[in-house]
Amino acid sequence: MTLLILAQILARTFNVIIPSSEDFAGWLLSATIFFGLAYTFNTGGHIRVTILLTRLSGQFRRWVEFINLCAGLFISGYIAFYTIYTVYESYIYEDVTDTYLAMPLWIVQSPMALGSLFFLLAVSDSFMAALSSKTPGFITHEDALSSAE
């Protein structure tokens, strides 16, 4: 993505236009964001109310975290289902992008669907860990960060 943007900047100095470079950069940005969701979740990097959660007692905190994981599982499942369904519909109806360079839309949408599926798997893994009375990985990372401060 960075190389594409730099190439566009360099090409403009020579009055050359790279067709659809902004579109490809945007699609790559979307892929980068969605592919990073699962990793960021597992390392405790998502924005949460850790100031409150780290001050809760052991058993009460487990219940609050479990409720949070239930909500996260529902939301990530909803996102994964509809992004995958959107890719499927784009494939079935043979939709193409409305840019200078027409591409099949399902190719552009696939990284978003795959990233949301990875995020669902990460939340499911933490949910299963919480169900089996283990500490999910993101809590371990958050506790280490909050104790370091």
Question: How many other β-carbons are positioned within 10 Å of the β-carbon of residue 10?
Answer: 11
pLDDT surpassing 90 at residue 10: yes
Task: Give the CA-trace dihedral at 77, 82, 88, 93, to 10 degrees.
Answer: 170
d(CA 23, CA 57) in angstroms, rounded, equals 49
> Higher pLDDT residue, 119 or 140?
119
d(CA 70, CA 60) in angstroms, rounded, equals 15
- Per-residue tokens: 72: 């996260």
pLDDT of residue 98: 87
d(CA 106, CA 58) in angstroms, rounded, equals 46
Q: Which amino acid is at 42?
A: N
Instruction: Quick: pLDDT tens for 48-105.
Output: 777 777 788 888 988 998 999 999 999 999 999 999 999 999 999 999 988 888 899 9
pLDDT of residue 132: 94
User: Would you list the domain boundaries of the chain?
Assistant: 22-148
> Which segment of 7-16, 43-52, 83-92 scores lowest on mean pLDDT?
43-52
Contacts of 14 (CB under 8 A, 6+ apart): none
